[in-house]
Homo-oligomer: A and B are copies of this chain.
Amino acid sequence: MELKEKAFKSVSRKNHPGDTAVDIGGGVKIGGGSFTVIAGPCSVESEEQIIGIAESVKKSGAHALRGGAFKPRSSPYAFQGLRALGMEYLLEAKRATGLPIVTEIMNIAHLGLFADVDVIQVGARNMQNFELLKELGRTDKPILLKRGLANTVQELLMSAEYIMSEGNSRVILCERGIRTFENVTRNTLDLSCIPIIKEASHLPVIVDPSHATGIARFVAPMSYASVAAGADGLIIEVHNDPENALCDGDQSILPSEFGVITDKIKKMTELFNKKYDAAE
């Protein structure tokens, strides 16, 4: 099967020669020859936690900070994030470090809280929440669109098309593993999608090896494989105390482990014609 490229308009490489670079603030770009690493905890847990992690990952080469304030959880009885308070702490971390921040939106009614957020993330479960996509298409914010667990590359690109068709062309795609019969890993990382997307679209693509594998000690090799497959960046879960993390501790690495990964990636990017600049 081939991609049905006729279905693509704004996302198509045919209509947009060259690679799109999305400027996410703080002198950081995703795409267009840069290699960009977003790091941070699954959830914002406290002001100290998020500022501490932000400082650590910045030192180790992260270009942007991730952290969840609104958390999609399978169970209504699980920790749902600090919500508005989490947003405040995240903005504190931005002020403290200068790192652009990336955080997930779950309800368009919360959009007001995202005014100072640099990149709005659409989670895998909302990849086909078309009403949300259309509303985000009417903003001018960079949108990090994660591939759904059971969504094809074709559908991922069509969801990007939903955002772009409303006028917002600042879309960053993210592969984060798909659901298959293999359950030794949380999901199956589909790295083949990177060259496929690159061929069909001008949009940048990053990889989330933390959610894809669900296992901290496999984040490093899958990060390296992502660089080699042609990704424009990574989004990695880093926590100062994974064993006591309020969510996703199993897949979170320590700041020191993160530094080992970025060191190797810096060497790899030379080989793969990408620039790994530190955040300004």
Contacts and interface: CB of A to CB of B under 8 A. Distances in A.
A96 B97 CA distance: 64
A182 B152 CA distance: 6
Interface string A130-162: 110010000000000000111011110011011
A130 B178 CA distance: 20
A128 interface: yes
B218 A225 contact: no
A115 interface: no
Contact of A196 (B159, B184, B225): B184
Interface residues on A, range: 35 or more
A221 interface: yes
A158 B75 CA distance: 6
Interface in A266-280: 267-268, 271-272
A159, A190, A191 — most chain B CB neighbours (10 Å): A191
A128, A131, A194, A225 — most chain B CB neighbours (10 Å): A225
Interface of A: 1-3, 7, 9, 72-77, 106-109, 125-126, 128-131, 134, 148-150, 152-155, 158-159, 161-162, 165-166, 178-185, 188-196, 199, 212-213, 217-218, 221-222, 224-230, 264, 267-268, 271-272
